Amino acid sequence: MRLVVSGGGTGGHIYPALALIDQLKKEGKLDAVLYVGTHRGLESRIVPDAGIPFQAIELQGFKRSLSLSNFKTIQMFLSSVGKAKKVLADFKPDVVVGTGGYVAGGVLFAATQMHIPTVIHESNSVAGLTNKFLSHFVDKVGIAFPEVAAAFPAKKVVMVGNPRAQQVAGLQPNDRLAEFELDPKRRTLLIFGGSRGAPAINRAVLASVEAFGDSDFQTLFVTGRAHYDAVMAEVGTLPANFKIAPYIDDMPAILPDVALVVSRSGATSLAELTALGIPSVLIPSPNVTHDHQTVNAQSMADAGAAVLLTEPDLPAKFTQTITALLADDGRLNAMAKAAAKLGVPDATDRLIAVLEDVIK
């Protein structure tokens, strides 16, 4: 299979694409691959670092209000479609996959005009603007949340899950927590706010250090690189059962040894948590398009797999919610089972089957 993938801007668009590429390689089904993104997006660093051929196209997203810059965006979109056609003509893909982000708009639209088989993947519970636009032209739409199906033409929708889930589904407990001077056998709370960190979560954790230090569980708090120095300057002397790290490069590797996760509710994180059956307290970012993280988190909470807290809830509820959960084995076990039921451990295989179907 000759594959072109396009998607970017956030990890939620990039990591499902990398998972798809990785699985195709493992199965010996990938003859050649090209990832098309922008110079400005995270994909320009993450994709080449993964050893995947990368090509950039200049493009920008539409403003959601009336703006003169949208006229420039239309010009750039039309220009990007022309450039994408040249890229596709040179590469000659069997199929083109879009995982979201405005860069996918030009590439996938160009592919549909060239009658190349096309598939888009929506990893969130609320459809992105680009994917909603593209769904009218592409052959199939893979989704990870049933709630988003109504946003797309029904005959094109296939429930596949998030490919990231299959990458982590087989992970087993290990001793990685020892790298942070924690006991791998002790009940562990993991708190993180994404790669950049989340100031609101960090403030709530700092207010909880003493309470967590007096507990019978241990805590690993990941601040985000940008906030680490400020947190360390404020925190003072730490309890022996409370450790802080700026960032963890391979976060999924430690998840099997974690009893409870406190995090944002991005699609990639939720795919990992459900694949491994880990209970969570989810604190959605209020600064994302269409507030999709709240919808993601509500879906998990409705299934009994998570507790949803909003940022305004944190001062009053953060410490008590976490300590109560970690003292309740029955509820943690029930949440873990509910999370596992939401997982799709064969998500990548399902998506590959869709690709093979549209190529026929």
293 marked as part of a ligand binding site: yes
- State the alpha helices, DSSP H only, in the chain: 11-26, 43-49, 69-91, 102-113, 129-134, 163-168, 199-206, 209-213, 228-235, 251-254, 267-276, 292-302, 314-326, 329-342, 347-359
Cβ-contact 107, 6 below 8 angstroms: yes
- Residue where the block lists tokens 């009658």: 115
Other beta carbons less than 10 A from residue 231's beta carbon:
19
Cβ-contact 151, 136 below 8 angstroms: no
Cβ-contact 105, 83 below 8 angstroms: no
195 marked as part of a ligand binding site: yes
Contacts of 323 (CB under 8 A, 6+ apart): 211, 212, 215
Amino acid at 104: A
11 marked as part of a ligand binding site: yes
- Choose among 220, 189, 257, 272: nearest CA to 11: 272
CA angle 273, 194, 119 (to 5 degrees): 65
> Can you say how many angstroms the Cα of residue 303 is from the centroid of all Cα atoms in its chain?
19
What Å distances lie between residue 139 and 77, 90, 135, 297, CA to CA?
21, 22, 8, 29
What is the per-residue DSSP string for 289-304?
GGGHHHHHHHHHHHTT
CA angle 81, 87, 93 (to 5 degrees): 110
Written as six digits, the tokens of 274 are 């459900």
79 marked as part of a ligand binding site: no
320 marked as part of a ligand binding site: no
Which residue ranges are tagged as binding site?
10-12, 124, 195, 248, 293
Which residue ranges are tagged as binding site for UDP-N-acetyl-alpha-D-glucosamine?
10-12, 124, 195, 248, 293
